[in-house]
Chain A
Amino acid sequence: MAMTTQATPPTAGGSLYIPTPARIRAIEDLTEFERLFELEFLDGHPLGHDPGQFVQVSVLGIGECPISICSSPTRQETFELCIRRVGNVTNHLHTLEPGAIVGIRGPLGHGFDVSEMHGKDVLIVAGGLGLAPVRSLIQYILDERSRFGRFDLLYGAREPKEILFKDDLTEWRESADVDFHVTVDRPDEQWRGKSGVVTTLFKGLPKLDPAETMVVIVGPPIMFKFVVLEVLARRIPQHSIYCSLERRMKCGIGKCGHCQANNVYVCMDGPVFKYGRLKAMREALE
């Protein structure tokens, strides 16, 4: 790949805040509001992230915003971001075409500790846009399948039209590597699947082994609370439950203060936390 003389990654005497240019390779519509962007750095270096980490995405002149990485580091050449248009930067990103250059800072924050999950059964419960950050972990587990035990994946969306990654869902449903179930809160006439909130899918789960199961819960706070109840009721210890938080972030490197939830800078200590830690952060789940 041709090297460029454009903005370089930060060096001593430079600025931590300068993003590295990355090219949009492909764009896919996921829903009316979400698009999947596949990106590669112009200098070809891999992002080198852990599942669950995030990047700061820049459109220079418009601004910058944090986006979780939704592809696995095991798929190295490019990385993917699922972007909902809700603000100035994300609206602008949705106007871009493949080939456009954006700025990336990262990977940032702490993701999932996959080594801790090795040899264990894994249960992932995702709600709404929460599927985006855990997709990096799902892909990772599928790519490194032999290193994990049983793998259950539950996904809940409000409506069928809000369901993300429909191609992936088809693949997961047919795969023998994962036991995958999806439900919607409000089914429409075409919907043939299960309906109800995501906790209703727990009825179909096999018995969880508290000592051998790691649970990952990512979704809106209200869903998180109900899922945690289900999981705790199955005697899963608090240190075996992970979750990922969303906060406002400006710097992404533990200085600007915007993402602070109680005594924790989500951008540095998170966005992935264990439930044992999270429950002491009162603001995290409010």
Chain B
Amino acid sequence: MSTSMLSAPFTRSELQIQSIMLTVVLALAPGTAWGVFIFGWPALFIFIVTVASAIAFEAACLMLAGKRVDATLLDGSALLSGWLIALTLPPWAPWWIGVVGAFIGIVVGKQVFGGLGQNLFNPAMLARVALLVSFPVEMTVWANPISPFSSAAPGLLDSIAITFGGLTPADGSTGATMLGWVKTEFSQGRLLDQSLATGDYGFYKSLLGWTGGSLGETSALFYLVGGVWLLKKQIITWQIPFSMLATVALLASVFTLLDGERYPGPLFHLTSGALMLGAFFIATDYVTSPNSPVGQMIFGAGCGLLVYVIRTWGSYPEGVAFAVLLMNSLTPVIDHYVRPRIYGRNRKGKPLELPEGRE
């Protein structure tokens, strides 16, 4: 439906969907590369499998719906969704986890609602949560980071076996994530400084991402840099990341001051788990977040609150996916109640009062 415009404006900004999606992918690339770097060949395999199946599912849905396949695929949204799903998977997950994840994200999470722009929930987070609930064992095998040139790293054949052959990783090559470790240790009565010491925690390690976790969640630093770059490119706005991170940091500060032996501090929270990835790349998803700046602040703060609550008192060690999904369901409500004030009107939409002495 390409027509020359008959009504103004006759000029248009250069930015298009495709370039937005590709910029986001580019911003994700360093963090993703880091994940592949520390988790080896299996991480690359599961990543490729997930992205390829996401694109395949998108194409299949478009064909079924009788929509134009090439033009829609080229907009890059399936690539980005698949990419994000892959980042949330355990790096040594079997291949079918990636395929099922892509199916849930693309088909159930997006196309069933009517395709791009129509979905209520973030497809990647929906996929992650559905997988986590359905396949808790496969979804909680966390490979430890290994230097790719060390002898401990799985070779190419072993890696193929891990991803495609159902090979159980060797003992000692997997462990808990830091958030999980602190939680289980605490449940056994061990205090924070103890569990951090036994878990071999280090702030800089956590910041850089030399720790167990999902394929692409470990490096807070790379996602922070990528996120700030997206802000500079005006792809995302500051409200959601800022309010989400600030809420977590604030709550963590308050509770660590109240009981430092039980509650980790803000730096621990900010650099652990998927928070940085979530704040800059997932909660900021256009489709599923509110559209007014104030609404976005509320949304971000809600995500931050839920992340902290689930991490601290919930039964799962990490809560970014649940937090984002719960807040996604509130987006229509936020958008209904929080709207920008219209010029010349008050917040309720009534015209402003005339100044004194005028009629």
- A and B: interacting chains: no
Chain B interface (Cβ < 8 Å from any Cβ of A) = none
Chain A interface (Cβ < 8 Å from any Cβ of B) = none
